[in-house]
A = this chain, B = another copy of it.
Amino acid sequence: MQQPVTIIDVAKAAGVSPSTVSHTLNGKRPVSDATQRRVLEAIETLGYVPSWNASRLKQNASGIIGVLAADITETFVNQIVRGIEYGLSGGDYSLFFVSGLEFGNDLKRAYNFLKSHQVDGILFCHHIPLWKEFNLDPKRSDIPIISLNMQSADMISVVIDNETGGRQAAEHLYSCTMGHPAIICGPEDRLSTIDRLSGFSQRISELQLTLPDDPYYGAYDFEHGFEAATHLMDTHPETDSIFCANDYIAAGAISAVIKSGRSIPEEVRVIGFDNRDFTAFWPIPISTFEQPLQQIGILGASILKQVIHTGTYTPTTHVLQSRLIPRASTIRH
């Protein structure tokens, strides 16, 4: 562990001035070939790496984009983050990832942290409205913020159209002969659940069909799907189509339906949401929707770069669509 090498050390070693070293690196003014060679050589031998801090102190742009997310282990979040990386790679920006976890989900502190690092912009990536109490006015903020996966008033947002997803699910099940639809929801407070339910219900009533009263709110997991579907088969034995809020629920529902002695997809059709890995090779492959998560990240990054570049922030909402993946749980093979 030794002393850091500065631009002055390099300048001395190469027998030039610090500004020449700087310009050799940044190419903002011509440097003769001979000088350039000596400088680069000195940099190599000394192992010099310019200090980002010192550099950014002089310039107004940091070249860093901050990403704020709650939990990186959520597929939702890490897929979006990966999209952001794609969107940023090869460009002039680096990504500074900050987890809500570090800040006890205190968005204000996390925001200040990013600000203190002089990030040029922030991508705010949420899968749950954990931080909804934070009311930062983006117009008064000196850093542009883009909200990913959740619509925020007064912000540029990139979201998925869950309502249309719900409508599409109804449409698909209808095309597979639907007479008695049912739905098994996720947690009641999740916006995505609400929107999907709303889209599905709308289409159902347009089709002159009816749903059981109970939307089966519950956890996004297998057990909930299993129990809800068991109850459903019991109380509504005529059910022939089940729309599940996500794939875990769908897997549970499928197991319950089979256990009840019914065949899939002949007697009952089940569809999930999210396209989790296991749906493709589940004993009965599960029909589901692929969400454009990486697209959210890519688009968000691209919009943010625009905003930074042009300096104008106009709140808008960009909507992306999910894609139906029909499999054996709804269509005969």
**A residues bordering B, Cβ < 8 Å?**
1-2, 4, 49-54, 56-57, 62, 71-73, 75, 78-79, 81-82, 85-86, 88-89, 94-99, 101-102, 104, 112-113, 115-118, 142, 144, 222-223, 248, 251-252, 255, 276-278, 280-283, 311, 313
Closest B residue by C-beta to A54? B57
Given contacts A49-B115, A72-B81, 6 further A-B contacts (CB under 8 A): A53-B53, A53-B118, A82-B99, A88-B102, A96-B96, A222-B281
Q: How far is the CA of A53 from the CA of B95 in the complex (A)?
A: 16
Assembled-state Cα–Cα distance A222/B142 (Å): 50
In the assembly, what is the distance between CA of A98 and CA of B255, in Å?
41
Determine the chain B residues whose CB is within 8 A of the CB of A112 once the complex forms.
Answer: 49
For this chain, the copies found in one complex come to: 2
CB pair A118–B88 under 8 Å, yes or no, is no
Whether the pair B82, A101 counts as a contact (CB closer than 8 A) is yes
Contact of A82 among B2, B62, B72 (CB under 8 A): B72
Task: Give the residue among A2, A142, A311 with the most B Cβ atoms within 10 A.
Answer: A142
- Does B222 contact A52, Cβ atoms closer than 8 Å? no
**Bound-complex Cα distance A78 to B112 (A):** 25
Whether B57 contacts A53 by the Cβ 8 Å rule is yes
Give complex CA distance A116, B5 in Å. 11
Q: Is the CB of A116 within 8 A of B50?
A: yes
In the complex, are the beta carbons of B85 and A116 less than 8 A apart?
A: no
